[in-house]
Every structure is written in structure tokens, then in C-alpha cells.
Amino acid sequence: MPSPPPDPALRLRIDRAALAANWRALDALSGAARAGAAVKADAYGIGARLAAIVLREAGCRDFFVAHWREAAELRDLLAPQDIAVLHGPLTGDEARWARAAGVRPVINSLAQAQRWLEAGGGPCHLMIDSGINRLGLPMADLGAEAIARLDIDMLLSHLASADEDSALNPLQRARWSQARALVPHRRASLANSAGIALGAEYHGDVTRPGLALYGGVPRPEMAGHLRQVAWPQAAVIQLREIGPGESVGYNATFVAPRRMRLAVIALGYADGYLRCWSGRGAMRWQGARLPVIGRVSMDMSVLDAAAAPDLAEGDWIEADYELPAAAAASGLSQYELLTLLGRRFGRESG
């Protein structure tokens, strides 16, 4: 058998200490509530298994995923009852799997409640739709007989506009409070990352940060509490020189105004570094800024390397990817910037 293949020419540098510090900061900001962690979507691109280990060691005990397979990937690392599956059981087979696995399904409808009960029931969570009109039990169904039969650990709802000072926020909080008074449960949860900053009335017993755990800043007042967790890095796979008038990349969108030294890196839109970074993005090497020129392609981007005369093939450079600034520069949300990061990245954590 051949030896293992070489490492990829792109990697994600992950600051484990920053991730742990962010959870502790969010737990403190949650006041009397305890912070959980949204680790769905591969922990927003960070890597769910790595994130689960770091967050568990920091003290987190409530983890939220979207799909059953995401739960299965974490069962050997976490207590199964600490894993909540947000999408709930769509079939009887899914309900039976959740019971056998010991994970907590989040019930979102009367049909899901009935499936869970028919599978044997047991502790579950219940999502109330307080105004986002995605998943969640309508307020009109709170008094249904199937809901009264559930063994509800956590009563959840989800804020639609917590990152804004919206009138919808207090309206949703009031509906969630109404549901808490009507439906027996042991714990309650409303606030996502941004919702934590809205104050104690939004916290309940468990908050559910996601973006903020990984260094995103959902509201300006949270900026001083959070640290960047992930930095995309890529290796220089070729250096070349071109003369004035020569073009770079697909469709010749950049034409050299002078003789230029270029660096080609192994990072492109297949890795989540999208074409919106064409002519906007930049990389850093030993303090020098290397702008992206031409059109970002599937597996590569091209940089103006004039500011780094000592840069060599095989050197690693780091993307300008501080999340709020990168969102402003690219037009992507901070959520997209993280979750788009592809699986071709190696992971380097420390």
C-alpha cells in the first residue's frame, strides 16, 4: 500500500484557546443562564469534532446540530442526551433512531410529536414558532393533547432579528414567555449569539450561541468579548513574472499596468473563497499585504506579490479574514464566510 498522501496546500489555522475563551465569555454574558453551543454545519466550518472537544473541556454541556448524522458523528465525544437535533423526526424510523441513540429530538410540529410518542417517547425538546415562521410549533397548537403528553426537557424558540434593534424581538420574547407559562418543561432557551446581548429577559436557562463562538460579531457591543478562531491559509504553488499589458486569470479581468511578480495560491471558490473576492481580497505574509488580482478560480487565486520580494514557492500565507471586516469587504455574511470553508482544508489547531 502507498504511504498516506501529502497534506493539502491549504489549511485552516484554528485557535483552540480563542474558541474556549469565546464560550466562557458568552457563558458569562448569559448571566444566570448557561451557554450551550451550536455545532451544526461542521461547527460553522471549524470542524465539529474539534469544536466539541474544546467546548466540552471549557464546560459546555448542551450541543445543537441540525441532522441525525451530525449527532452520530459526536456521540463518542459527548453524552448523547447533551446533543439536540434541531430538525426533529420526519419519520418513525428517525424517531426510533433518536431513542436508540439517546439524543434529544427537537419536536417542531404536532406530527413530529405524534411520531415521537408512537416510537415510545421519552425526554425531548420542543421548538415554538414565536415569529420567524420557519420550524416550530405554531402558538395555536400549544394546548394540543399530543404536546401535553411530551416529556419536555427544553422549550425553545428562535429569534429572527436579534442582530437588529427590531420590534420583533420583544414580540417574540413575549410569545416565548407565554408558551413557557402554558407548556410544562424543565428548561427554556431563546437567545442565539446576538440574542445574548439583548439582556436577561431573553436568556431563559440555556443560550444557544453559534456564530459568536467562532469569532463572529453579531452585534457591535459584543466585539470586545470575542476573538477570531479560524484563519484560512494557503501555500504558494507558483511564482511568476509578467510584463505590462499581460492579463491574469479567466476573462482577462486584470491587465498588468507594469512588470509584476505574481504568486499563485491553492485557494479558490471550491474552498469557499468565492469569486466575490476577485479584486477585493488580500493575503498577508510577514506583515505584507498581497492583493488578489484577476478572477478567483475553482482551485486557485493569484496575488500581487510586489510587497513580498522574499516570498518563495511553498511558503504559507494567510487570508485577510477578520470576520466583520471580511463581511463588509465581500458582501457575504459572517455566517457564510465560515460555513463556506470547504472540506479540502487541513486543520492546524493550537
Let me know if residue 349 belongs to a domain. no
Q: Which residues contact 280 (CB under 8 A, 6 or more apart)?
A: 292, 329, 330
The angle subtended at Cα 255 by Cα 252 and Cα 258, nearest 5°, is 155
Q: Are residues 314 and 266 in the same domain?
A: yes
Q: Are residues 257 and 193 in the same domain?
A: no
Active site residue 44: no
Cell numbers linked to 79: 453524552
Let me know if residue 222 belongs to a domain. no
Task: List residues bridging with 233 in a β-sheet.
Answer: 11, 318
The pLDDT of residue 109 is 98
Buried b vs exposed e over 193-215: b needs ≥16 C-beta within 10 Å? bbbbbbeeebbbbbbbbbbbbbb
User: What mean pLDDT, rounded, does the chain reach?
Assistant: 97
pLDDT per residue as tens digits for the range 11-46? 999 999 999 999 999 999 999 999 999 999 999 999
Question: Which one is catalytic: 40, 44, 273, 321?
Answer: 40
Secondary structure letter of residue 2 according to DSSP: P
Let me know if residue 190 belongs to a domain. yes
Q: Are residues 20 and 126 in the same domain?
A: yes
Q: Give the domain range for residue 315.
A: 230-321
Q: Are residues 162 and 234 in the same domain?
A: no
What percent of the chain lies above the pLDDT cut of 90? Answer: 96
How many domains, in total, are found in the chain? 2
Q: What gap in Å lies between CA 242 and CA 174, rounded to an integer?
A: 63
Give the mean model confidence (pLDDT) for residues 132-151: 97
Question: Which one is catalytic: 214, 250, 273, 321?
Answer: 250
Secondary structure letter of residue 343 according to DSSP: T
pLDDT per residue as tens digits for the range 94-133? 999 999 999 999 999 999 999 999 999 999 999 999 999 9
Active site residue 250: yes
Q: Are residues 194 and 234 in the same domain?
A: no
pLDDT per residue as tens digits for the range 55-88? 999 999 999 999 999 999 999 999 999 999 999 9
pLDDT per residue as tens digits for the range 172-230? 999 999 999 999 999 999 999 999 999 999 999 999 999 999 999 999 999 999 999 99
Q: Are residues 181 and 306 in the same domain?
A: no
In the chain, which ranges are E strands? 10-14, 34-35, 37-38, 63-65, 83-85, 104-107, 123-128, 151-157, 187-189, 206-207, 230-242, 247-248, 254-255, 260-265, 282-285, 288-293, 301-304, 316-319, 346-349
pLDDT per residue as tens digits for the range 168-184? 999 999 999 999 999 99
Q: Are residues 63 and 202 in the same domain?
A: yes
Residue 318 and residue 232 in contact, taking contact as beta carbons nearer than 8 Å: yes
